[in-house]
Structure 1
Amino acid sequence: MADKTLYTVTIFSENTVGLLNQITIIFTRRQLNIETLSVSPSALEGIHKFTITTFSDEYTIDKVVKQIDKRVDILKAFYNTDEDLVFQEIALYKLSTELFLKMGSVEDLIRKHNARILEINEVCVVLEKTGHYAETKALFKELSEMIGVLQFIRSGRIAINKSKVERLSDMLALMEKKKQEKEKATNE
């Protein structure tokens, strides 16, 4: 992956059945592997936000985003590098309670990794770590080497751009302004 960069693709759309499949096909045709994927409602009512990460060169990712953007169901698609975003992931670690309690440095480990205990019972302990991929992986590695991890899962990236407002807000405002101008011109 010498000339590949990790890009975050953000897609705004209405919540349409089958849209995710159509989006993933576009990545597949360009032979891009989706590293992480997160879908949730956006700050704008009725609009969903897809956050997808993939390694690519800028030429290819630009083509992918333009192709996605052409879809009728898509309101807008963007791509960014890490420098343009504030982003995080969440990871959960399931550990043996017995082995966890035998570790002498539990408190130090929790503080060092800024993790928190979500659940503790007689069978298992569940830790949560929010951070970047390298941080969630570092805690996994340390726990694996110390006591073993029974289960591990991490979310896809969630991200917001560093600009003042989501660019979709600006685009929708401009579309509304043009619509009003068109209606005004038609009525005159």
Structure 2
Amino acid sequence: MKKTFTISVFTENSIGMMNRVTIIFTRRHLNIDSITASESEVKGVFRYTIVLRTTKEQADKVIGQLEKLIDVLKAFVHEESEIVHQEIALYKIKTNAVANTDLEQVVRRHHARILTVDSQFMVIEKTGHAPETQLLFQHLKPFGLLEFVRSGRVAITKPMKAFSTYLEELKAL
């Protein structure tokens, strides 16, 4: 049965690493719903957070393939209940909508915030899960939505074992 999984891949920072990671998914005909990359809590180690819908067996196979890549230090697969996650969305609205009190109510009701106001546009930010950011998108359309962008998932695991502990275990091998 297909479910949503979040895969965390810890790598060294090397050129072409994202391509080498994503090709593993392409070869298995798995569609990536979102991918984010950033520095991790360990100096020199980068973290890719990848979201996909697949079976647990396929996700486990992908982890095995990822860990065979040079420069991949460790990869993990997480179910939804094992992580805390958020996304960020930005919405660009025509500035003439600012005078509309309904817009202010929509922003407040969705716990969003106004980042900037320009003579021609304003930018609103919403942090949350994809359905929440999508709902705000629907509510902002009538106000003259000019642009919309949503980040990929950013996730932290609930288990308390720190990644640095895994690195120490790897060094001991």
Q: TM tier, shorter chain?
A: over 0.9
The corresponding residue for 2:170 is: 175
Q: Say if 2:135 is the partner of 1:152.
A: no
Structure 2: distance between partners of 1:152 and 1:175: 42
Aligned to 1:81: 79
Larger-Rg structure: 1
Q: Does 1:162 align with 2:158?
A: yes
Residue identity over aligned pairs, in percent, reads 41
The aligned amino acid for 2:114 is: I
The residue type paired with residue 63 of structure 1 is K
Q: Which residue of 2 aligns with 1:140?
A: 137
- What is the identity, as a one-letter code, of the residue corresponding to 1:147? F
Point out where structure 1 has 5 or more consecutive residues left out of the alignment.
180-188
Per the normalisation by structure 2, the TM-score is 0.95
Cα separation, 2, equivalents of 1:24 and 1:137:
26
Equivalences for 1:116-127 in 2 at 5 Å? 116-127=113-124
| 1:112-163 Cα shifts (integer Å, max 9, x gaps) | 110000010110010000000011000001111x223100001111000012
Hey, what does 1:185 align to over in structure 2?
none
CA-CA distance at 1:102 after TM superposition = 4.4
- The alignment covers a number of residue pairs equal to 173
Q: Secondary structure at the match of 1:105?
A: helix
Give the gaps of 5 or more residues in structure 2: none
How far off is 1:107 after superposition?
Answer: 2.6
For residues 1-188 of structure 1, the aligned pairs below 5 Å read 3-98=1-96, 100-144=97-141, 146-166=142-162, 168-176=163-171, 178=172
What letter corresponds to residue 121 of structure 2 in structure 1? Answer: C
Q: Which amino acid aligns with 2:11?
A: S
The amino acid that maps onto 2:36 is S
Q: Please say which of residues 105-114 and 27-36 is displaced more in the overlay.
A: 105-114
SS class of match (1:66): helix
Output the amino acid matched with 2:167.
Answer: L
The 2-side partners of 1:67 and 1:126 are apart by 41
| Residue identity matched to 1:171 | Y
Normalised by the length of structure 1, the TM-score is 0.88
Shift of 1:90: 0.4
Higher relative strand content: 2
